[in-house]
Amino acid sequence: MNWLNYHHLQYFWVVAREGSVARASEVLHVTPATISIQLRDLEKSLGVDLFRKSGRGLVLTEMGVAVQTYAQDIFSTGQELLDMVNGRPVGGPMVLRVGIKDVMPKLVAYQLLEPTLQMSEDVRLLCFEGDITKLIADLAIHKLDVVLSDTPIDPTMKVRAYSHLLGESDVVLVGSKSLAKKFRTGFPQSIAGAPLLLPMKNTILRRSIDYWFEGLDIRPKIVGEFDDSAMLKIMGSKGVGIFPVAGVIRKEVEAMYDVELIGTIPNITEKFYALSVERKVKHPAVLAISEVARKNLSTRV
């Protein structure tokens, strides 16, 4: 039977946390040479490389990131054991590590996460925003518990993960009061030539809107394209152009950005997913997200 040397694992964990052998040696009060020997022994016993050189420093390999996650759990559990033995309260809040796709509307993400804040058990949210490919990679090595996305997992991605549909929403166009007054009457033909703010072309929503315009033979004036949905809304609030939002957050957007409804885009919906490595979701906080979302997003707005 192979035994894990937890002393070596602790040295690795501190180096990964501190970012360098030198800083870890200060924390552990041992020489850098001692730590380097312990790291080599751990890599040899596991049969994998945990770090690779980058310039004059070290960075975690993919396997190193996975081992770091397990080490964090191991030493957190060890601290709980010590707390229990010494009569201190055991445990803290439930932790939910959430990845949020960078182009996903943050108001929608908040609505999806809100049920976790209403749970009887305290929940600590750790939220990370980024490219979906990076988020899926982190999900696959259990660095994240769930990823919130406006698209399911691409079947060409070689990961074992599952897409859970949370619901969908109609898409509407809104604009500042002056623009809404100008373009609301006669919608959608009225928006021919209207100044328009849109997400980038690499999004499903943008492609759907482009097809809709082509079908109506409408040529709006695109004055801005954005990766950041919040920046798009800020520009829209200043009257730069009209812009699309998910109907499920329309009231919040109207209140926050002082805009008004122009019209609903027919036959276009935004879908929202929880991505997980589990075929059947088990994390209590993710279950809360799923249950409330499927109720609130079950009908289109």
Residues 121 and 73 in one domain: no
Residues 129 and 189 in one domain: no
Q: pLDDT confidence of 120, banded at 50, 70, 90?
A: confident
The mean pLDDT value for 111-116 works out to 93
Q: How many domains does the chain have?
A: 3
Residues 42 and 185 in one domain: no
pLDDT tens-digit readout, 129-139: 999 989 998 88
Structure-block tokens of residue 87: 């009569």
Q: Quick check: helix, strand or coil at residue 266?
A: strand
pLDDT at 28: 84
* Pairing assessment for the beta strands 57-60 and 51-54 based on DSSP bridges: antiparallel
118 found inside a domain = yes
70 found inside a domain = yes
Give the whole-angstrom CA distance, residue 254 versus residue 114.
Answer: 20
pLDDT at 203: 87
Residues 63 and 127 in one domain: no
Instruction: Assign residue 23 a region (left: φ > 0; alpha: ψ between -120 and 50; beta: otherwise).
Output: alpha
Residues 100 and 112 in one domain: yes
Q: Model pTM?
A: 0.67
301 found inside a domain = no
- Kindly report the average pLDDT of the chain as a whole number: 87
CATH number for the domain that contains residue 58: 1.10.10.10
Residues 163 and 176 in one domain: no
279 found inside a domain = yes
Residue with tokens 């707390």: 83
Give the whole-angstrom CA distance, residue 241 versus residue 233.
Answer: 10
> Which residues are paired to 195 by β-bridges?
221
224 found inside a domain = yes
201 found inside a domain = yes
Cα dihedral angle (61, 64, 69, 73), rounded to 10 degrees? -170
pLDDT at 98: 95
User: In which element (H, E) is residue 171 found?
Assistant: strand 162-176
Residues 150 and 214 in one domain: no
pLDDT tens-digit readout, 247-298: 999 999 999 999 999 999 999 999 999 999 888 888 888 999 998 888 777 5
Determine the structural domain holding residue 190 and report its residue range: 169-269
Last residue of a domain, one of 30, 50, 85: 85
1 found inside a domain = no
Residues 160 and 175 in one domain: no
CATH number for the domain that contains residue 146: 3.40.190.10
Residues 71 and 28 in one domain: yes
pLDDT tens-digit readout, 190-237: 999 899 999 998 888 999 999 999 998 988 899 999 988 889 999 999
221 found inside a domain = yes
Structure-block tokens of residue 33: 């040479």
The mean pLDDT value for 88-100 works out to 76
Residues 40 and 174 in one domain: no
Structure-block tokens of residue 257: 């950005």
Residues 283 and 151 in one domain: yes
**Between 69 and 238, whose confidence is greater?**
238
Residues 103 and 163 in one domain: yes
Q: Quick check: helix, strand or coil at residue 179?
A: helix
Smallest Cα–Cα separation from 12: which of 41, 1, 26, 3? 41
Its sign, for the CA torsion 262, 267, 270, 274, is positive
The mean pLDDT value for 135-145 works out to 87
Give the whole-angstrom CA distance, residue 36 versus residue 241.
Answer: 58
Smallest Cα–Cα separation from 252: which of 159, 174, 181, 197? 174
